[in-house]
Amino acid sequence: MQTEKSLGSYPEITDSQIREALDKAVSLVTENLRDFTVRFPDSNSRHNFYPPTENVEWTTGFWTGQIWLAFETVRDKEPDRARLLKTAGEIQVESFLNRIRDKVDVDHHDMGFLYSPSCVAAWKLTGNETAKKAAVMAADQLLTRFQERGQFFQAWGELGARDNYRLIIDCLLNMPLLFWASQVTGDEKYRTKAQAHIRTAMNCVIRPDHSTYHTYFFDPGTGKLVRGVTHQGNRDGSAWARGQAWGIYGSALSYRQMRKPEYIDIFRKVTDYFLEHLPDDLIPYWDFDFDNGSSEPRDSSAAAIAVCGILEMSKYLENGEASHYRKAAKRLLAALWEKCAVRSPEESNGLLLHGTYARGTPTNPCTDRGVDECNTWGDYFYLESLIRLTGDWDLYW
């Protein structure tokens, strides 16, 4: 386990490493357009190579998001490459419009993960009206999952069913789509529901020791809190590393929208827990039950998400505290660059090695999936973190 002092002794990623890592990542994304323009990479790689898939699951937006991040990086200096990326992004936006219009695999809450990095990004960067239409439709779809009794968005399953009447911490990242939808439509209904969900989630997912529950059940009859339960963590009482990271980025994005000082406090708590429970090489195990010397797999994606969340919140903190957290983020990113970043297309068609989608244990309902593999969100947040460190970045979230 890290102490703050020992974290301080790690090197921060340097400006030249950031430039090198970004150039490398943008080249790899461009290279991967060959296979993934009409189709998408699956959620996780197999032996470090993604097979192609249709536009299904909660993860395809992360690939389109990488295309837009790469487009932004080269837009002003490499017009030919920028054109190639923009064309691919536009083809994918059409696919996202079809998906929401035909309601393909959208009976869940992950409309933000799908439509913010793909369609909101396209609209912000290029004014693409198809993208705007698709993203507003996705926001409408998400509204259908709001539960008045309990005031939250139900993550999965049949609406109102007792065994699915719960929110999950990940959903904090779906909320920016709703704030954006209110902004572009002028209709407050999206923002109102997002604010209610955030208030509910913040009230139940943070434990007294500042670790987090992955999911929290409510009583469908009364809306009262029932209990915290894990889905992808090691056990109900453990801290699933990626859930903790969703809490970090989720609290930063919630503060950005709502400016409630208590969300800064929550950010400090969940971030400090994350940083203090990293192993010696700074790449988190998939659950903080595991520590130095464990043979359990890592989840590099949790670190990438945490870096983005910390960099976002640093904008709103006073100088000393902002610098403390930015340094921590740059130390994590140095570790990702050194130990997990893909260097060549022969190695992988992803960007970030050593992620874990799900690890099955006797105390959770999962089976192993994408263990010690790339996953599309790890790739996306790694690239986002590099771009965040090269200047002011206008969020897709």
Q: Which residues contribute to the site for ligand GLY (CB under 6 A)? A: 170, 232, 242
Q: Is 118 strand, coil or helix? A: helix
CB of 170 to ligand GLY, least distance (A): 4
d(CA 372, CA 47): 9
Question: Which of 168/181 has CB closer to ligand GLY?
Answer: 168
Which one, 242 or 277, has the nearer CB to ligand GLY?
Answer: 242
Please identify the residue of the shown chain whose CB is closest to the bound ligand GLY. Answer: 170
Toward ligand GLY, which CB reaches closer, 42 or 170?
Answer: 170
CA distances from 147 to 20, 101, 153, 182, 254 (A): 46, 23, 6, 19, 20
- For the bound state, the minimum distance from the C-beta of residue 368 to ligand GLY, rounded and expressed in Å, comes to 13
Q: Residue 191 or 242: which CB sits closer to ligand GLY?
A: 242
Residues marked active site are found at 110, 170
CB of 242 to ligand GLY, least distance (A): 5
DSSP letters for 237-251: TS-BHHHHHHHHHHH
Q: From 216, 179, 181, select the one nearest 195 (Cα to Cα).
A: 179
> Quick check: 376 and 305 in contact, CB under 8 A?
no
The nearest distance, CB 232 to ligand GLY, in angstroms, is: 6
The smaller minimum CB distance to ligand GLY, of residues 32 and 244, is found at 244
Q: In the chain, where do the E strands start and end? A: 40-41, 52-53, 146-147, 152-153, 166-168, 215-218, 225-229, 355-358, 369-373
Sheet of 215-218: strand order equals 166-168, 215-218, 225-229
Other C-beta atoms lying within 10 Å of the C-beta of residue 130: 15
Tokens describing residue 149: 């009794």
Provide the 10 A C-beta neighbour count for residue 383: 27
Q: How many CB atoms lie within 10 A of CB 369?
A: 15
Q: How far is the CB of 240 from ligand GLY (least distance, A)?
A: 9
